[in-house]
Structure 1
Amino acid sequence: MNLSRAFTISAALLVVTGALPVLAATPEEIHLWPGKAPGTEKWTQPEQVAGQPGRRRITNVSDPTVTVYLPEAGKANGTAIIVAPGGGMRALNIDAGGTSVAEWLSARGYTALVLKYRIRQQAPGPPGASAERRPALDGGEGRAAPSRTGARAESLPMAGRPEMVIRDANADPAQDDPEMAIAYRMAVADAGQAIRLVRANSAKWHVDPAKVGIMGFSAGGGVAVGSGLAEAGPGYPSFVISLYGPSLMDVNVPAYAAPLFMAVKQDHWNVTPGLIALFDKWREAKKPVELHVFDMANGAIGMEPTGTPIDSWLDRVTDWLALHDFAPRPNVESDLRERIQ
């Protein structure tokens, strides 16, 4: 091959490869704790995964991890969002409220991390099955939960159940289950450790340490809220987003409370009044808070279209992030002009 032809081929290859998109890095799973996670060293039930890709469900998590989804090179907007899936603290719907959300976020410049946090241990069997059928922390088992000690059960129906009395913005339907309480504390600790991990890797992942937040779905939203009620420090989030996940503990809003965003269906049993109570707590403390209650919603808040206004939840989230300078601000004036014309 003569030099002229070799140069022509090399130039052509440069043109072709230069036209190819720069792909994001392959997601990386990282263990949160060195060795066994503290506080649950004696947990022995093996982790189980069931379901097809896209609908996987994990139980008996004792080795918490984060899976990191980095945006394409040069497209990082400096904000990291830890995504906590739901599953009633008995399982993790790792795809529906985890990987699918992280992929969407990373494609738009966010550094996203799916949090596989510790959940209540169960006897071997199908994910979610247990000899003890106590209410899941998101009220997802389709039954009325026990009322709090001394609490008066209301007879007002909501989704076919008596309304739960909410006190101190605590909407946990399983407050007399000590094992569930332990799992919840461990999950919140995992969330804090994930936030520390992001800040420790902020330069490597092109993240602003002041823009590390958490988003949770259902019980994962409760975990996110718990992180927003935790002690100040490197494990405290810059912002909290809870999608149909109320507080699972008594709420005392800290003086340093992070901005809080919440969204829920109008008729979600303990969750809707729980989030309304949480909104009131944040508002009374004069902390930034936004709550969307969707009427006539069909299905849960998630990545699958429902054909109802609830499908706009991601727009509401990104608008709110921009409002607090955690995302690029949209050209609202231009958008309004286009709608009016």
Structure 2
Amino acid sequence: MKRIIILLLCVSAGNFTTAQEIVQIPHEKAAGITWEGSEKAYYSKLWENDVVTNVSIPTMEVFRPENPNGVSVIVAPGGGLYALSIKSEGTDVAKWLNQQGITAFVLKYRLVPTGEDGVQEISDEAATNPARIGERVAPVLPFSYADGLAAIKHVRENADTFKVDSRKIGFMGFSAGGAVTMGVAYNYDKTNRPDFLVPVYPWTLVMPVQEVPRDAPPMLVICASDDPLGLAPGSVELYSSWLKANKPIALQMYAKGGHGFGMKNQGLPSDDWIKRFHEWAIAQDIIIPSAAE
């Protein structure tokens, strides 16, 4: 009996130290799409990163800084809509933002239904039938960015609870998460309008550049010229569209960096992209530096 009590105490302590604050995002049923089984979380040897696949119920994990400055960012990891690169484009980003006083929300938006290994599926299809990827992504993407819009609305409606400014809610997405970011950019209303946008190597092949909204928020586009998926031209086109519409816009294009660099350390200038975001946010008066800074 004594051993059982000790074991329970250890489990309880472990749960306390690793407790996660998870918020379920309000969402409508995805008509015509069926997921089998629950979402899966595992380490992908192919991507050398922790991933999440088969997401059918959108949620977000809350990362609260010790000294919040009121700014918040919803982070949408990439992964071709077959997976979420949850660490290097998710939790690692959130932890860095927390160090700057920014409250972060790592979003798990709905993904293409997959089996045991979504990363293996998209890798196999990329090698044998690339067109199949687009066919599977197309019906899911509208629900993915609907999750992004719902996440913004939820944070805004609960700004006091999260200790954030309802007028400083940003959305940052990587690759497929960048496509979600663009979906957010083109489909918001008054309740879920993002206050700033940061598409990082956005997947413009599945979410092409469109007409800029009249009240478009400030945007920072980040990419690398040597992106092997050919996403640099789309990033430039996105930048140019905001510029032509006379909306606040900046572009950070690196000569090298490849695709999916996220928070990985490659020994390149692109490693510091997130610092450039922070500087941009200060220049845009999104972040107000403290006297100590």
The amino acid across from 1:226 in the alignment is: G
CA 1:272 to 1:145, structure 2 compared with 1: closer, same or farther past 3 Å? farther
Report how far residue 44 of structure 1 moved.
2.8
Q: Which runs of structure 2 are paired with 1:139-288 in the superposition (5 Å)?
A: 141=126, 177=135, 179-247=136-204, 248-268=207-227, 269-288=229-248
Report how far residue 218 of structure 1 moved.
1.1
Asked whether the equivalents of residues 120 and 183 of structure 1 are also in contact (C-alpha less than 8 Å), the reply is yes
Q: Which residue of 2 aligns with 1:94?
A: 86
Query: Structure 1 residue 79 and structure 2 residue 39: aligned?
Result: no
Cα distance in structure 1, aligned partners of 2:71 and 2:78: 22
Cα distance in structure 1, aligned partners of 2:258 and 2:252: 15
CA 1:186 to 1:209, structure 2 compared with 1: closer, same or farther past 3 Å? same
- Aligned residues, how many? 270
SS of structure 2 residue aligned to 1:76: coil
Q: Which residue of 2 aligns with 1:61?
A: 55
Cα distance in structure 2, aligned partners of 1:81 and 1:284: 26
Query: Structure 1 residue 31 and structure 2 residue 24: aligned?
Result: yes
Cα distance in structure 2, aligned partners of 1:330 and 1:297: 32
Report how far residue 58 of structure 1 moved.
1.4
Report how far residue 323 of structure 1 moved.
1.3
CA 1:174 to 1:327, structure 2 compared with 1: closer, same or farther past 3 Å? same
Q: Which residue of 2 aligns with 1:153?
A: none
Cα distance in structure 2, aligned partners of 1:25 and 1:81: 22
Report how far residue 326 of structure 1 moved.
1.4
Cα distance in structure 2, aligned partners of 1:41 and 1:69: 33
Cα distance in structure 1, aligned partners of 2:224 and 2:290: 26
Query: Structure 1 residue 301 and structure 2 residue 281: aligned?
Result: no
Report how far residue 42 of structure 1 moved.
5.3
CA shift digits 1:132-185 (9 cap, x unpaired): 955xxxxxx479966xxxxxxxxxxxxxxxxxxxxxxxxxx966x2x4122110
CA shift digits 1:55-84 (9 cap, x unpaired): 321111101101001111xx1111110000
SS of structure 1 residue aligned to 2:235: helix
Which structure's residues are more often helix, by fraction? 2
Asked whether the equivalents of residues 240 and 258 of structure 1 are also in contact (C-alpha less than 8 Å), the reply is yes
SS of structure 2 residue aligned to 1:182: coil
Asked whether the equivalents of residues 175 and 201 of structure 2 are also in contact (C-alpha less than 8 Å), the reply is yes
Cα distance in structure 2, aligned partners of 1:292 and 1:127: 31
Cα distance in structure 2, aligned partners of 1:128 and 1:40: 24
The amino acid across from 1:199 in the alignment is: R
Unpaired stretches in structure 1, ≥5 consecutive residues? 1-23, 135-140, 147-172, 336-341
Query: Structure 1 residue 107 and structure 2 residue 66: aligned?
Result: no
SS of structure 2 residue aligned to 1:129: helix
Cα distance in structure 2, aligned partners of 1:281 and 1:266: 18
SS of structure 2 residue aligned to 1:61: coil
Asked whether the equivalents of residues 209 and 238 of structure 2 are also in contact (C-alpha less than 8 Å), the reply is no
User: TM-score, normalised on structure 1?
Assistant: 0.72
Cα distance in structure 1, aligned partners of 2:171 and 2:127: 27
Which stretch has the larger CA shift, 301-310 or 56-65? 301-310
User: TM-score, normalised on structure 2?
Assistant: 0.83
CA 1:327 to 1:144, structure 2 compared with 1: closer, same or farther past 3 Å? farther
Unpaired stretches in structure 2, ≥5 consecutive residues? 1-16
CA 1:216 to 1:299, structure 2 compared with 1: closer, same or farther past 3 Å? closer
Asked whether the equivalents of residues 223 and 253 of structure 2 are also in contact (C-alpha less than 8 Å), the reply is yes
CA 1:330 to 1:78, structure 2 compared with 1: closer, same or farther past 3 Å? closer
Report how far residue 227 of structure 1 moved.
0.6
CA 1:330 to 1:311, structure 2 compared with 1: closer, same or farther past 3 Å? farther
SS of structure 1 residue aligned to 2:265: coil
